A and B are shown apart, each in its own frame.
Chain A
Amino acid sequence: MNAHADEHEHFAGSNKLFTSIWIWLVLLTMVEIVLAYRPMAIHIMLTILLGLSIIKAALIVAYFMHLKFERLSLILTIVPMLVVCICLLFVFFPDSFRSQDLRYKFKETPPEPAAESH
């Protein structure tokens, strides 16, 4: 990097592009808030919310953090490794579901709290 390069660094993307990305991010956030008040099964809601979050994260990384305009070798070094590491953390979830079944559950209606004392 010499003095000339420092004076006028190449920074791809216009302010118009960045503003339109911001509008998309705000719109997707509003969709998330509306979804919160729609009655739906928790796993469907979680899937939609995570899908929206991943889209928002991708927009931020690609345009705001400028990764889309970086060299492919940098993208390939950073992104797949992170995705694989995060997916590996999912290995804990079967245990999480199992421990839900281990919890003591009353077979019938629970006893009244004060009824048994004295």
Chain B
Amino acid sequence: MSTEARAEHFPAADWDGGVLPYRVGHRKLGMWLFIVSDSLTFSALLIGYSYLRASNVWPTPFPFFPSIVFSSVMTFCLLSSSLTMVFAVSASSRGDRAKARKWIMGTIFFGLAFLVLHLIEWNHLISDGLRPFSLPAEWVTRYATPDGTLPSPLFGATFFTITGLHMFHVFTGAIYLAVIATRINKLKHEDVEISGLYWHFVDLVWMFVFPLIYIMSVDIGAH
């Protein structure tokens, strides 16, 4: 406490050692750095997708039902899970661990709801005939341009990679939160806050995946 109080008076001494320069613990700083690197992974994937999309004829096959309805409900689930997570962190900061655990369980519930809905949505597309490197035959004829260019078969590759990696993050996040919830009495508040950071990040990524993958590929009639 005394070192921190001193550093408040002499900010120039921040980098001389003995204080936490960012006023966050090293684990929380580590999670922030992981989030930065993971955002670059997702940015690279989304920009790779945009690259392919801009240089090819791209199908826009998502119907209002099931795709857009499902993905909107999924977005709602993730946003709500972020809200319950922030309530959990808030309860934990007041030292109310029982309440924090309950809110974390709510977060896990919304996360699992997201996963189930997403898998149903994947199942729709797979049963339509979408594969990582080929489109359903019906889409090929439907989205071919009048000059005879066929739509890119990489639609499935980008879709399954980006949403799949995001789903994997939700899945690992749910496990992470389950571990935090079961061990919450032994953990510090900071640990709960760090798991919250990860969960909000998963929500944050979906805020870009949803418009770029789903909204931009809504079926409003072929050209």
Q: A-side interface residues toward B, CB under 8 Å?
A: 1-2, 5-11, 13, 15, 18-19, 22, 25-26, 29, 32-33, 35-37, 39, 42, 45-46, 49-50, 52-53, 56-57, 60-61, 63-66, 70-71, 73-74, 77-78, 81-82, 85-86, 89-90, 92-93, 95-97, 99-100, 103, 105-106, 109-110
Beyond contacts A64-B83, A96-B55: 10 other A-B pairs, Cβ-Cβ < 8 A, are A6-B189, A11-B193, A18-B86, A36-B215, A37-B218, A49-B216, A64-B86, A66-B89, A97-B54, A106-B148
Least distance between B198 CB and chain A CB atoms (Å): 10
Tell me, yes or no, whether B185 is within 8 Å of chain A by CB: no
Chain B residues closer than 8 Å to A74, beta-carbon distance: 22-24, 29, 32
Chain B residues closer than 8 Å to A39, beta-carbon distance: 220
B21–A73 touching, CB < 8 Å = yes
Q: B-side interface residues toward A, CB under 8 Å?
A: 1, 14, 21-25, 29, 32, 36, 39-40, 43-44, 47, 50-52, 54-56, 68, 72, 75-76, 79-80, 82-83, 85-87, 89-90, 92-95, 146-149, 188-190, 193, 196-197, 200-201, 203-204, 207-208, 210-212, 215-216, 218, 220
Chain A residues closer than 8 Å to B50, beta-carbon distance: 93, 96
